[in-house]
Amino acid sequence: MKSPLLSLPGAVPAEGVDEGVAAHYGDLFREQRALAAGTGFVDLSHRGVVTVTGEDRLSWLHLLLTQHVSELPAGEATEALILSAHGHIEHALYLVDDGETVWAHIEPGTQDALVQYLESMKFFYRVEVADRTADFAVVHLPAGSIAEAPDGVVVRQTAYGRDLFLPRERLEEYAARTGPAAGLLAYEALRVEHHRPRLGFETDHRTIPHELGWIGSAVHLQKGCYRGQETVARVQNLGKPPRRLVFLHLDGSEVHLPPAGTGIRLADEGPDGRKIGFVTTSVRHHELGPVALALVKRNVPVDARLVAGDTAAAQEVVVEP
């Protein structure tokens, strides 16, 4: 869906999976500084919105998700994953229950597959699953924002800010009252700063939760069975994940950022060295300069000097080896 906020002055459309909202509104660093200061908002109206209603909604989702949600208090935000039978990440859900309905926002374009899976697992449970993407737009208010949420709007509050499930017809009106708008690039820069993984960016077809630090925040280790739990328990109790997420400080003298997928090697092995990882997301941060998230092999020394493509990089540990 194309956001009406792309008509705001200076709006430059995002590309790829984030197509439909603004990448920025003409001043990337100003927009980052505004979000960091707790002002403005981010249009995330391209994200999917799925709801689950019915008296069995929490106990039913508890059987399917990696998170403990059977007793989730109304208004308390959480996040959860859906795994394959082999423990690989298939969906990431950002959840809140309003006392009658579980609301989740998810990656753009993944709502059809998620709804199809949930529908296939209903059996005799008293639940109704709905794709509400056409009706509701996600709007993000940064941490520290004093902007008010409209009456009746479901709010998901976390340490990083508030996500509003706003009726789409109210998006332009709310934006006019809550500005200035910040683009997705500013939002992504702060996400990278906080080492927060994103499905489809930090994940591939074989990613398991341990590699990204999702144990705890999205995976509860003391809950009952769910698809993929055996892999989670085995890696947690008996081994280590094959890869780990790192935060990279990139050489600021380079003009271009290494794009996602850029190979990482050990600087000491020279230009022909073996590939030991790859960049997942790279951004320009208003204070930190060029930084990135990346996946590297677990046994890469934490003090090793790295090179991302042709760009020197120093790693900061996110997931312990």
| 179-222 pLDDT, tens digit each | 899 999 999 999 999 999 999 999 999 999 999 999 999 999 99
Structural contact between residues 262 and 285, judged by C-beta atoms closer than 8 angstroms: no
**Confidence (pLDDT) at 254:** 76
Residue bearing tokens 């993000």: 140
**Confidence (pLDDT) at 224:** 80
pTM higher than 0.85: yes
Edge-to-edge order in the sheet of strand 89-97: 78-83, 89-97, 101-106, 48-53, 128-131
Closest CA to 318 of 200, 145, 183, 191: 191
Closest CA to 209 of 246, 243, 238: 243
Closest CA to 186 of 16, 10, 31, 43: 31
What lies within 8 Å, CB to CB, of 63 at 6+ separation is 121, 224, 225, 226
The model's confidence at residue 252, banded by pLDDT at 50, 70 and 90, is: confident
Q: What are 75-130's pLDDT values in tens digits?
A: 999 999 999 999 999 999 999 999 999 999 999 999 999 999 999 999 999 999 99
**Confidence (pLDDT) at 1:** 82
Strands (E), 154-267: 154-158, 161-167, 181-182, 243-250, 263-266
Average pLDDT, the chain: 96
Closest CA to 133 of 162, 168, 101: 168
**Confidence (pLDDT) at 36:** 97
Both tokens of residue 57?
């909604």
Structural contact between residues 133 and 48, judged by C-beta atoms closer than 8 angstroms: yes
Closest CA to 55 of 3, 103, 101, 2: 101
Ramachandran bin of 191, using left for φ above 0, alpha for ψ from -120 to 50, beta for the remaining angles? alpha
Alpha helices in the chain (DSSP H): 28-36, 57-64, 111-120, 171-178, 184-193, 229-238
The alpha carbons of the chain give a radius of gyration, in whole angstroms, of 20
Q: What are 144-153's pLDDT values in tens digits?
A: 999 999 999 9
Burial 81-92 (b: 16+ CB within 10 A, else e): bbbeeebbbbbb
Angle between the 184-193 and 28-36 helix axes, to the nearest 10 degrees? 60
What lies within 8 Å, CB to CB, of 2 at 6+ separation is 20
CA–CA dist 87, 236 (Å, integer): 12
**Confidence (pLDDT) at 216:** 92
The model's confidence at residue 253, banded by pLDDT at 50, 70 and 90, is: confident
**For range 16-31, the mean pLDDT:** 97
CA–CA dist 199, 249 (Å, integer): 22
Q: Which domains does the chain have, with CATH numbers?
A: 4-47+135-194 (no CATH), 48-131 (3.30.70.1400), 242-320 (2.40.30.110)
Closest CA to 202 of 128, 293, 113: 293
**Confidence (pLDDT) at 255:** 79
**Confidence (pLDDT) at 270:** 85
Which segment of 12-16, 124-128, 139-143, 249-253 scores lowest on mean pLDDT? 249-253
Tally helices (H) and strands (E) across the chain.
6, 18
Residue 122 — φ and ψ, nearest 5°?
-70, -45
